[in-house]
Amino acid sequence: MEKIPGLGLGIWKAAPEEVTEAVKVAIDAGLYHNENEVGVGIQCKVKEGMVRRRDLFIVSKLWCTCHKKSLVKVACTRSLKALKLEYLDLYLIHWPMGFKFSQSGEIDLPVDHSGMIIPSDRTSWTRGRSPVGPAQPRGRVAFSPPSAMEDLVTPGLVRAIGVSNFNHEQLERLLNKPSSRFKPVTNQIDCHPYLTQKNLISFCQWRNVSMTAYRPLGSSSEGDAPDGRPCDPDDLSEAQEVCSSGYE
């Protein structure tokens, strides 16, 4: 696989009308349910002759309701169709837990009568409380996504596979699977000056798995610090200093 670029454009929570233009600007600068808009932006720049497909490194993710083996290729094909692409450079398991499959395929977050996420019976990588729902069962030993995602590499639907939001125990179990044909090349995690993830980064480096940081400056919808405190200018200055030092 070609080297993963050092900087990428994330479009989660971006308004649909903003995504296409953001992708165009990102391509000019060299840099999920938004896939249709991303595809439009990419094709516009390809038609303009600004960029070729092979010059772009495009990543998508397998959502939690599609962990059933028969659904992995379906989900990937759906993403490729929305993005108007023939292949993905990297395909990630979005979270190390599965949600109940929706027959309609339109429910991203299946919930019970009390508003709690309904887990899939195929989850085997999680213990304790899910970051987006109730406590997850340890589930069965079988876990479809890794092997099913490997099946996407050989026919060329994806160039490489990886994971997202895996802790070191979950990642190690995956890396130690004796039947694996393709190892995950990266672990995409929430990492920023308020959450440095030093131990997990060290583990990834030790196991030769690259680490991709999302929200590298922290994030919140209300303008607060990641831990819920109101933003302090001194804190922001410190965060900016830490981030700046990483590029020196």
Instruction: Report CA-CA distances (Å) from 183 to 64, 80, 173, 191.
Output: 20, 22, 11, 22
Is 194 one of the annotated active-site residues of the chain?
Answer: no
DSSP conformation letters of 145-168:
HHHHHHHHHTTTSBS-EEEES--H
Q: How many CB atoms lie within 10 A of CB 27?
A: 20
| Active-site position among 32, 91, 214, 247 | 32
Q: Report whether 153 contacts 161 (CB < 8 A).
A: yes
Rounded Cα gap, residues 149 and 120, in angstroms: 18
* Total residues belonging to the chain: 248
168 is in an annotated binding site: no
Could you tell me which residues are beta bridge partners of residue 210?
186
Element (H, E) at 170: helix 168-175
Active site residues: 32
Q: Which amino acids are annotated as binding site for substrate, given as ranges? A: 94
